[in-house]
Amino acid sequence: MSVNGAPAGLLQDFQALGDKKNGHIGIVLVHGFTGSPAAMRPWAEYLNARGYSVRVPRLPGHGTVPADLNNVDWQEWPAKVKAEIVELQKQCSQIFVAGLSMGGGTTLNVAAELGDQLSGIILVNPMIHVRGVSPRLAFVISRVIKFGKSVGNDIKRKGVTEYSYDKLPYRGIYQLLTMLKITRVALPTIRVPMQLFHSVDDHTLPVSNTEIIMREIGSSNKSRIELLNSFHVATIDHDCDLIFANSLTFIESLCK
């Protein structure tokens, strides 16, 4: 399924302030490549219902038409996340960032730069590389081919969609791989606590992505939770309740 037919407002930026008890804790939730805020919205609403302030940005080039993702520079993605953090900091004393897939790679990029401004990061099937495809190779391919077959909506649960693009923008892939290469180099500098969820049956990314992050990140407080009943877009799949509950526990453990 493409972005067509999405309920009004679902593919746009979403934000909601928390209550008096937990509203000073802010969480930014970042969707994946070719995806949309629809993949993160239920998680955000779960956290907001428990009093936390949340923001779900629509990353540049997403939620519109696939061609837009061929006209984005990678720096625009972390810049968007950092802008959301700045907005939360106006009323929040602690900030967490959660990311799915490429949103996980973007989260890591932001964590490497902001460091102690974040209280923790949560990653779901995060992306840090594509085996055998370098940014240079992706660049060459993108000069010849604009679009490929979609990789979105890898969801086990029937009747559920993240409203992703039905094409894979190759110039966007070049920008993505460039960001991930830079981010991987910075992994040892990241010290913030990390919680990582990994689907054992992921048709989009190999487990090497999770293994690289777990091995190379500099965080001493890091954990990995296996998801047994979800595909790649696990935030709206069968294991979403497990993700929501465990992320809440993680956040609560780090709240002051």
Question: Would you name the residues annotated as active-site residues?
Answer: 101, 202, 232
> Nearest CA to 15 among 75, 118, 92?
92
Residue ranges in 18-99 assigned as alpha helix (H): 41-49, 76-89
Q: What span, in angstroms and rounded, lies between the C-alpha atoms of 86 and 70?
A: 27
Determine the Cα angle at 2 with ends 143 and 122, to 5°.
85
> Nearest CA to 239 among 229, 224, 249, 225?
229
The residue type found at 57 is P
What sign does the CA torsion over 66, 67, 73, 75 have? negative
Six token digits for residue 213 = 């992050």
* Residues paired with residue 89 on neighbouring β-strands, in sequence order: none
Q: What span, in angstroms and rounded, lies between the C-alpha atoms of 34 and 136?
A: 21
* Residues paired with residue 100 on neighbouring β-strands, in sequence order: 124
